[in-house]
Structure 1
């Protein structure tokens, strides 16, 4: 029976009983006698209690559904309200769960396409930086060197300075190209790529170290790229925002055949800061491979980002 009919029939039954009693043994005089007031008061209280109980029981699934709607986050999939109640209430919860399944599936598909296009665009830009801008600046550096050799002494030092500035700009362009397209990941594998990442971010004020656990299973290229990009974004955030002087990258096999990536620092931590585009990007990448991203405080202070990657499919990689 639907919630509407249950409430309607209960109220109808109470009103019918009240009418029968008023037409029969119960009368109301003027002024109202104490006994009559007690009967009316008890009847009114019984009606209110019955209505309150019915509404409490009948609307409880709706309240749970409301809380689930408020807490739903497509970047943290999996949570579903339990299908309880009867009639249109259970149908409403089932419809909401079906809608969430469809939205999460569509978001995963869309995110996969967007990130794939993003990686292709990064690769194209990195190639153009290397082939076009890099070669042009290399030619400029060589030309400046020859010009400095032939220039008179008053101009020689200036040309050498311009040559060094241009060479520094060339190195910066090469570094940007490596970040856009991790060629070492494709050529030498994930461990070498993370080692190069740690060396790139290590400066006089920041030390980035990598630590390896048990050997990883054979993941496909997409999973390795997600592991690298998450580590890259986590280290970048730590270097820019945490104020840390030490960042650790841990990577190793996890129980069950998967992998665990942990990036933690000794900085000021995340606190109540809202998640930015970088964190949302990491969550979207994790969803692509069915991984779980956890962000929290690191032991001893600072922030910790952990990526738990499931075991590869039996017929999957390499």
Structure 2
């Protein structure tokens, strides 16, 4: 590779210098002693022409390397699929082909490692949610029953204080159950994706955020992994909206699309999840861990995640799952 590129550049320069030497030998121009101003001008023009020709030839020869350098500096494994056409001569095309092969391997390895990490994360969430429900939840339930028993046999001033402790304990138990539901969406396993998204919208609506859910009834069969990714992306999108967007209204939609090909655009069919708010928008903010996590999940099922501002001024998160990925 190194020798091929070296000899290509060397031969380009040699061709320019040989052509200049031949012109000096066969042309009518000679150099006098002392050098005349006219001869200096002729040599200067010839040197400028040689340099311009050399620069043009090198620019043409190394253009594929310049494109490769730009791609290497901007490549993002969370946005896979971008490849360079292996153009150029000699070692340049081979270098681009090797780079594309390396990207294929890196994207495959990243997808595999991300799948393992997210699978372990879901298993850990399941374990923590189970312990919250079985251990802490049952313990607090027993505490509530004991507080009620003690309060029923206590004098009035102490009874009022115990009632307040009961209320605080009950609120803590409700919060633990809410956390457990978020860690392990049991409604997703028991009632399906649409019911889980409706419950998610109701949960965030209780925080003061007006969430309007619109879900198609003719959704195709979705695998458990696809349903879990859709649910987690909706959950993370609503969480980001509640925390950062300063929004009042959110539209949560899940549609089944069948789009025919238009001109050069290929046909697209699949499921699209959208979370659109009326908040302050992204404002050139860098992507945080939440959005990167959504992109990781989208890669697992071959989906496309787009995050940006919409015409209304807020932020829209759109996840498109193509048809091959939604079949069981």
Q: Please indicate the TM-score interval, normalised by the length of the shorter structure.
A: over 0.9
Matched residue SS, 1:281: helix
TM-score (norm 2): 0.91
Cα 1:247–1:14 shift into 2, 3 Å: closer
TM-score (norm 1): 0.94
Is 1:127 the counterpart of 2:133 in the alignment? no
Is 1:64 the counterpart of 2:76 in the alignment? no
Q: Look up the match of 2:6.
A: 4
**Moved segments of 4+, more than 2 Å:** 1-7, 9-27, 33-39
Q: Look up the match of 1:221.
A: 224
Deviation sequence 1:173-202 (CA, Å, 0-9, x none): 000000000000000000100010011111
Distance 1:3 1:53 in 2: 16
Bigger Cα displacement from structure 2, 255-264 vs 111-120:
255-264
Which runs of 5 or more residues in structure 2 are unaligned?
259-267
**Contact 2:304–2:320 (CA under 8 A) maintained in structure 1:** yes
2:49 to 19, 22, 46: 46
Q: Look up the match of 2:176.
A: 173
Matched residue SS, 1:228: helix
Q: How does 1:77-88 map to 2 (within 5 A)?
A: 77-88=80-91
Bigger Cα displacement from structure 2, 12-21 vs 186-195:
12-21
Distance 2:246 2:239 in 1: 12
**Contact 1:80–1:97 (CA under 8 A) maintained in structure 2:** yes
Distance 1:169 1:121 in 2: 22
Q: Look up the match of 2:316.
A: 304
1:283 to 281, 290, 295: 295
Matched residue SS, 1:90: helix
Number of residues paired by the alignment?
316
**Contact 2:209–2:248 (CA under 8 A) maintained in structure 1:** yes
Distance 2:99 2:19 in 1: 40
Distance 1:219 1:312 in 2: 10
Once the 2 structures are TM-superposed, how far is the Cα of residue 270 of structure 1 from its aligned partner? Answer: 1.3
Q: Look up the match of 1:189.
A: 192
Is 1:258 the counterpart of 2:258 in the alignment? no
Q: Look up the match of 2:264.
A: none
Cα 1:197–1:27 shift into 2, 3 Å: same
**Contact 1:259–1:310 (CA under 8 A) maintained in structure 2:** yes
Once the 2 structures are TM-superposed, how far is the Cα of residue 40 of structure 1 from its aligned partner? Answer: 1.7
Distance 1:161 1:226 in 2: 41
Is 1:158 the counterpart of 2:161 in the alignment? yes
Distance 2:12 2:232 in 1: 61
Which runs of 5 or more residues in structure 1 are unaligned?
none
Distance 1:53 1:222 in 2: 54
